[in-house]
Amino acid sequence: MSRIYEIMYLIDNDLVRAGWSQAKATASALVEKHGGHVLTARRWDERKLAYPIHRRRRGTYLLAHAELEPTGIVGLRRELDLAEHVLRYLILQVETVPEEERALTEAESAAGFSVPPPPEEAVHGADEAEEPDTDEEAEEASEGAVPAGELAREEV
C-alpha cells in the first residue's frame, strides 16, 4: 500500500548553478528509481545555512512530495546518502499533499520560470582559520533570500 511522503532535500549550490531543472530532475529520478511517483517538486529556498554543512555556507532546498511503497524507503535513503550533491535530506510521511505545493510545482514547470543563480561564496575548505565575522555580514547585506513562491519571472 503506497504512502505519501514529504521529502526535503538540501542541495549543493554547485549543482544548482549548473541548471535548476537538471538538479530537480536528478533528485526526482532517485525517487522514481525506488518505485516512487513524484507528485510535487519545487524550490523551497536558497539561503545561508545556520552552520556550515560539508564546508558550505549556502544551499538550495528542494521540497517534494511523492507516493511510494514503504519498502522503497530504505533504498532511497541509501541512494541519498551516497549522492554527492545532496547535503541533507528529510523524509516524512504525510496524510495529503498540501494544495499550495501542487500550485507552486505547476508554476515551476510553466515556461518562463527562472531561478536566480545562487550567490558565489568564498572557496570552501579555505575557511575555519580566516574569515572574521565581519566578512559574513557584508555578504548578508548584498543579497537577499528570494521568498518562496515569488519565483516565476521572465528571462530578459
Kindly list the residues in this chain that would bind another protein in the complex (CB under 8 A).
Answer: 8, 10, 44, 49-51, 53, 59, 61, 63, 87-88, 90
Residue 89 Cβ vs another protein, minimum distance, rounded to whole Å: 8
- As a whole number of angstroms, the distance between CA 100 and CA 4 comes to 16
Of the pair 59, 72, the CB lying nearest another protein is at 59
Residue 18 Cβ vs another protein, minimum distance, rounded to whole Å: 21
Of the pair 3, 88, the CB lying nearest another protein is at 88
Of the pair 92, 122, the CB lying nearest another protein is at 92
Determine the residue type at 36: G
- As a whole number of angstroms, the distance between CA 70 and CA 8 comes to 17
3-class secondary structure, 150:
coil
Residue 156 Cβ vs another protein, minimum distance, rounded to whole Å: 31
Nearest Cα to Cα of residue 6 among 84, 117, 105? 105
Of the pair 100, 106, the CB lying nearest another protein is at 100
Residue 62 Cβ vs another protein, minimum distance, rounded to whole Å: 11
- As a whole number of angstroms, the distance between CA 135 and CA 85 comes to 26
List phi, psi (to 5°) of 132. Answer: -65, 160
